[in-house]
Chains A and B, each alone.
Chain A
Amino acid sequence: MEIAARVGLGERLDAMGKLFAIVLVIIALASAYPIAKHMYVPPEDISTHGHAIDDQLSDTMAEAGFAFLGAQIILAFFVWKFSERKEGAKLKNFPGGAKLMVSVAFIIVGAEVFALGVLGQKAWANVYFTPPRPDALQIQAQAGQFAFYFRYPGADGKFGAIHPDKIDEGNQNFFGLDPANDIEARDDIVSGELTIPVNREVHLLMHAKDVGHSFYVRELRIQQDFVPGLDLSVHFTATKIGRYEIVCTQLCGLGHYNMKAYLSVMAQDDFEKWLKQKASEQ
């Protein structure tokens, strides 16, 4: 009371602790509602590895949701119960004290860390620790400000070498190929759209032309940066025919927001037809 007067409060604001508790519970429930209702979720997975990531995501969501709601509601409850009590109200300590808190954190969180951190690494291993199948379809992706280009090796199965000094976008030589002197480059097929057959593994070789970029297809559960000077690759199998957006997620300059391409997943026959038609155009 005295203190309230001293800081210029005039009267004691009894209800503020209770109001805090109510507001906090409302915020916590309102925050959790769209998650519980699955209002905002990643799109349907179209990859063979994605379900492991999705399982991991929903396990983590359950654990994080439990921790979030639990902590906020306990905070609200204790503030409700122990704020602005009568002057001289008896102070108590939580039974078990700090030892209990430390043990609880070590056991429960430690188990969670172990579960997610060690056992849960399978999902990551699926993507990165398995080599591509030898018969995977090799496609090279090039990212540059502010477009993606994709190159298929053609009938010889080999990519022509890249000569950065020969890159000439005006003449559609996006990769800097030298077909005059390089036999392997002559039958390379270049496309602005990533077209792949369904249910066949694709080994995507990634090349950055200028600065860092990234390859992100939500439905494929694949995101991988393009790093200039580094030969990176990802491999994946798409399981559903359709057209999906590829977006750049690494800030690459003024047109970053507009850097996108499409992924077309086709039946094997359609893919071969498309490839033939592309080859005849070039």
Chain B
Amino acid sequence: MQEASAQPAHVHAPPEGFIRKHVFSLDHKVIGKQYYALGLLAVCMGMGLSWLMRFHLVWPTTRIPGLELLSKVGAPGGVITPEYYLSLLTMHGTLMVFFVLTNAPFAAFGNYFLPIQIGAEDMAFPRFNMMSFWTTLVAFLVLVLAFVIPDGPPISGWTSYAPLSAVGQDAGPGMGWGMNLWGISIAIFCIGSLLGALNFIATTLDLRAKGMTLMRMPICTWAWFITSCIALLAFAVLLPACILLILDRTAGTSFFIPSGLVVSDRLQPHSGGSPLLWQHLFWFFGHPEVYIAILPSMGIVSHILINSMRKPLLSSKVIIYCMMSIGFLSWMVWGHHMFVSGMNPFSSLLFSFPTLTITIPATIMTLIWLGSLYGANLRINAASLFALGFISMFVSGGVSGFFLAQPSIDIVLHATYFVVGHFHMVMGVASIFGVFAGTYFWYGKMTGRMMNEKLGQLHFWLTFIGTYCIFMPFHYLGLVGNIRRYSSFVNDFMGPLMPLHKFITIAALSTGAAQFIFLFNLIYSHFKGKPASENPWEGTTLEWSIPSPPPWNNFGGKHPVIYHDPYQYGVKGSKGDYIMQDSPEPSAS
């Protein structure tokens, strides 16, 4: 392993004034918190939208008081129209995938902890870092602007399949300026994410402290590093795809639109484009995006589990190699979203095999986590409960992937609630569990105060049971053939499934309500939580060697020197059963 290069003495001067400290800050820790706050805002909106959708599905004619204020056209008198339902699901998906699942586990925690865990004072390019966040915020504002324009938000789903997304206003409400805003927002988001990914990679490779070899980096640092490599390639494809889509819509090009289409009784003035091209470009980004959402949580969960088990994993190296191979395989599986799309049916087999192969590294990781629990001295707290919950969710969401990876079964299950259940569990809930675990674990470090543990555990139980109640039945619905993205079930065979839909809605509303406990805890603990010590969890990595919260330059101008692998637990050290990474005392190995 190569040795890290020496880092500059000071990356930037101490910030002065409120604006520089808290708003346009160059400090990676402030930027990390800003990303977290943006993720929190987006998740509240996204969850609110899912409430409206679930409510509408089972009580379609019931008035929701005040909803007409959100959209006069979309919810006249507070009752959601079918097209507004599609707007809600488009915005829910876009907010959640881009602004929550990409921002929170990766950009937020990665920004805050990656430099600290490798012993750096800041990111390699602090100005780029600030720009990443503010670019992402602009993307967010452009997206939510779609709610207030007269046209309303787009109705083509977060996947924005062409030609529905490309032909403009003729395609329906929201497909004029609403859709333009979507395309512009995602293009801007790509720029922010590309800058962020470059910064993570440069920081990891260049700013490691003395002795911090690549293999001495904590697993979560590895996860963020691998994720940034994936993000750099993925968003680099989505960005031009969005630009082409915007050109089709505004400049009269025909990248995604063939000739002879009659939409809303109007013959479209396009020719020569291919709708499948959009699907290929989108999913070439879209599948790696799944791993952009889940890999950081895998890293965070491993990091927390090791600390809670008081012993290292059976092999950290194997986990890192598994994450690498998952990242690598993620580039050759995008076609499994397109088995019935009309692409050459022979290519389905080519896409199916690597998709199934991903099961191998995923199984290895699960077995390593499970096997490591054997013989541990597991400390149970809100953080470790969410980490354990992550493993459970990852397994549950993972096994349903086994069905969808097979083109023949996909004929039956494609576009049903089975798919919705699958990806919500594995990339949604599992990834969010990683964020919850990270929040309970690192909150003390980030704010100087601990979160309330009892409220944290209550939050875990309600969320763990609740999410199973919501998403497991999705699989049952899918098996019967319940189609997704329907605002109402007018079909003969979907009607009888309403009782199950009601159960899901009630579970979703109550699990959503339970998140207010978390929100309360987050705010309350900021002011009233118990003061956090430097190392409340008896951790070994560098973030626990500095005050809580850390000073602006992390290590107070000192340069940490690394003597050990990251997880020296279950050994005799001067402080207890662990040895810090920067402690010169001899390690067990």
Given known contacts A67-B399, A84-B378, A254-B173, A52 and B371 CB-to-CB distance under 8 angstroms: no
Are B465 and A64 in contact (CB-based, < 8 A)? Answer: no
Whether the pair A230, B342 counts as a contact (CB closer than 8 A) is yes
CB of A141, distance to nearest CB on chain B (Å): 13
Residues from chain B with a CB closer than 8 A to the CB of A23 are 461, 464-465
A176 to chain B: which residues have CB within 8 Å?
Answer: 262
CB–CB B395/A71 < 8 A: yes
Q: Which residues of B contact A67 (CB under 8 A)?
A: 395, 399, 402
Contact flag A209-B314 (CB < 8 Å), given A127-B411, A223-B411, A256-B486: no
Q: Does B408 contact A (CB under 8 A)?
A: yes
Q: Which residues of A contact B318 (CB under 8 A)?
A: 98, 101-102
| Contact indicator B411/A221 (Cβ below 8 Å) | yes
**CB distance B86 to A251 under 8 Å?**
yes
Known: A68-B396, A78-B374, A254-B82. A120 touches B408 (CB 8 A): yes
How far does the alpha carbon of A137 sit from the alpha carbon of B435 in the complex, in Å? 56
- Is B83 on the interface with A (CB-CB < 8 A)? yes
**C-alpha spacing A23/B373, complex, angstroms:** 18
Is the beta-carbon distance between A74 and B493 smaller than 8 angstroms? no
Asked if B434 CB lies within 8 Å of chain A CBs, one says no
Residues of B within 8 A of A79 (CB): 373, 378, 388
Q: Which of A8, A85, A109, A223 contacts B453 (CB 8 A)?
A: A8
- Chain B residues within 8 Å of A258, by CB: 82, 488, 490
Question: Which residues does chain A contribute within 8 Å of B411, judged by CB atoms?
Answer: 53, 124, 127, 221-223
User: Which residues in A have their C-beta under 8 angstroms from that of B264?
Assistant: 145, 210
Contact mask for chain B residues 133-158; partner A; CB cutoff 8 A; 1 contact, 0 none: 00000000000000000000001110
Residues of chain B within 8 A of A179, CB atoms compared: none
Docked complex Cα distance between A41 and B313 (Å) = 40
Asked if A228 contacts B385 (CB within 8 A), the reply is no
Stretch at the interface among B13-21, B33-41, B350-358: B350-358
Task: List, in ascending order, chain A residues with CB within 8 A of B260's CB.
Answer: 162, 164, 229
Task: Give complex CA distance A281, B547 in Å.
Answer: 85
B536 interface residue (CB < 8 Å to A): yes
Interface residues of A in 1-53 (CB under 8 A from B): 3-4, 6-9, 13, 16-17, 20, 23-24, 27, 31, 34-35, 39-43, 52-53
Check A210–B261 contact: CB distance below 8 A. yes
B479 an interface residue at 8 Å Cβ cutoff? yes
Look across to chain B and name the residue whose beta carbon is closest to the beta carbon of A224.
B340
Stretch at the interface among A86-94, A147-155, A270-278: A86-94
In contact, B275 and A83 (Cβ under 8 angstroms): no
A101: which of B156, B368, B538 is its contact (CB, 8 Å)? B368
Docked-complex contact B275 and A39, CB < 8 angstroms: no
Contact partner of B360 (CB less than 8 A), chosen from A100, A113, A121, A222, is A113
Within the assembled complex, what's the spacing in Å between the Cα atoms of A23 and B462? Answer: 11
Decide if A60 touches B409 in the complex (CB within 8 Å).
Answer: yes
CA distance A72 to B418 in the complex (A): 20
Given contacts A20-B385, A116-B402, A212-B275, contact A31 B468 (CB under 8 A): yes
Option from B258, B262, B313, B348 in Cβ contact (under 8 Å) with A229: B258
Interchain CB contact under 8 A, B164 and A251: yes
Smallest Cβ-Cβ distance to A84: which chain B residue = B380
Select which of A3, A71, A212 is within 8 A of B537 by beta carbon: A3
Contact of A254 among B155, B353, B391 (CB under 8 A): B155
Q: Are A254 and B172 in contact (CB under 8 A)?
A: yes
- CA of A116 to CA of B363 in the docked complex: distance in angstroms? 16
- Give a binary string over A52-75; 1 marks a CB under 8 Å from any B CB, 0 the rest: 110011001101110110011011
Contact of B403 among A57, A167, A250 (CB under 8 A): A57
**Chain B CB within 10 A, most for which of A105, A106, A145, A211:** A211
A85 to B309, CA, bound (A): 10
Cα distance A79–B376 in the bound complex, in angstroms: 9
On chain A, the residues within 8 Å of B328 by CB distance are none
- Chain B residues within 8 Å of A227, by CB: 275-276, 341-342
Chain A residues with Cβ below 8 Å from B368 are 98, 101
Decide yes or no whether A165 CB sits under 8 A from chain B.
yes
Quick one: which of B164, B352, B479 contacts A211, CB cutoff 8 A?
Answer: B164
Range class of the A interface residue count: 35 or more
Alpha-carbon separation in the docked complex, A17 to B477 (Å): 32
Interface residue B450 (Cβ < 8 Å from any Cβ of A): yes
The answer to whether A71 touches B342 (Cβ under 8 A) is: no
In the complex the two chains form, is A127's CB within 8 Å of B86's CB? no
B216 to chain A, nearest CB (A): 18
A253 to B83, CA, bound (A): 7
Chain B residues lying within 8 Å of A167, measured Cβ to Cβ, are 262, 265
Interface residues on B, range: 35 or more
Among A3, A94, A121, A254, the residue within 8 A (CB) of B314 is A94
Is A83's CB under 8 angstroms from B403's CB? no
- Residues 99 to 141 of chain B near chain A (Cβ within 8 Å): none
Give the distance to chain B from A221, nearest Cβ to Cβ, in Å.
6
Within the complex, the shortest CB–CB distance from A160 to chain B, in Å, comes to 15
**Chain B, residue nearest A93 (CB):** B375
Which residues of B in the span 440-476 have a Cβ within 8 Å of any Cβ on A?
444, 450, 452-454, 457, 461, 464-465, 468, 472, 476
A194 within 8 A of B: no
Task: Please indicate the chain A residues that have their CB under 8 angstroms from the CB of B490 in the complex.
Answer: 257-258, 260
A92 CA / B396 CA spacing, docked (Å): 28
Within 8 A of A (CB), among B249-279: 257-265, 267, 273-276
Tell whether B29 is near chain A: CB-to-CB under 8 Å.
Answer: no
The answer to whether B263 and A94 have CB atoms under 8 Å apart is no
How near does chain A come to B485, taking the closest CB pair, in angstroms?
5
User: In the complex, which residues of chain A have a beta carbon less than 8 angstroms from the beta carbon of B570?
Assistant: 91
The answer to whether B348 and A82 touch across the interface, beta carbons within 8 angstroms, is no
A134 to B427, CA, bound (A): 46
Residue of chain A at shortest CB distance from B81: A254
State whether the Cβ of A255 lies closer than 8 Å to any Cβ in chain B.
yes
B 30-74 contacts with A by CB, 8 A: none
Among B156, B373, B477, B533, chain A packs the most CB atoms within 10 A around the CB of B373
Residues of the B chain whose Cβ atoms lie less than 8 Å from the Cβ of A214: 340, 415
Assembled-state Cα–Cα distance A67/B452 (Å): 36
Known contacts being A53-B408, A116-B402, A218-B412, is A92 close to B262, with CB within 8 Å?
Answer: no
Q: Is B367 among interface residues, defined by CB-CB distance under 8 A? A: yes
Which of B161, B257, B372, B392 has the most A CB atoms < 10 Å from its CB? B392
Whole-angstrom distance between the Cβ of A110 and the nearest chain B Cβ: 6
- Point out the residue from A40, A221, A230, A247 that lies within 8 Å of B476, measured CB to CB: A40
User: Within 8 Å CB of B472, what residues of A?
Assistant: 31
Known interface pairs A228-B261, A229-B258. Does A102 touch B364 (Cβ–Cβ under 8 Å)?
Answer: yes
A110 and B174 CA atoms in complex are apart in Å by 47
Q: Are A129 and B261 touching (Cβ within 8 A)?
A: no
Q: Measured between C-beta atoms, what is the minimum distance from B15 to chain A in Å?
A: 30
CA A101 – CA B363 in complex, angstroms?
9
B457 to A16, Cβ gap below 8 A? yes
Residue B345 at the chain A interface, CB threshold 8 Å: yes
Contact A104 B161 (CB under 8 A): no
Q: Is the CB of B415 within 8 A of A13?
A: no
Tell me, in angstroms, the Cα distance from A162 to B259 when the chains sit together.
12
A sample of 11 inter-chain contacts (CB < 8 A) reads A3-B538, A13-B380, A17-B380, A60-B403, A75-B391, A82-B373, A90-B375, A144-B262, A211-B167, A253-B155, A254-B173
Q: Top 5 closest A-B pairs, CB basis?
A: A229-B258, A92-B375, A98-B315, A123-B408, A254-B83
Given A255-B82, A258-B82, 17 more A-B residue pairs with CB atoms under 8 Å apart are A16-B385, A68-B395, A75-B395, A78-B373, A101-B314, A116-B402, A211-B161, A211-B163, A212-B163, A212-B275, A218-B493, A221-B411, A228-B258, A229-B260, A230-B258, A251-B161, A254-B82
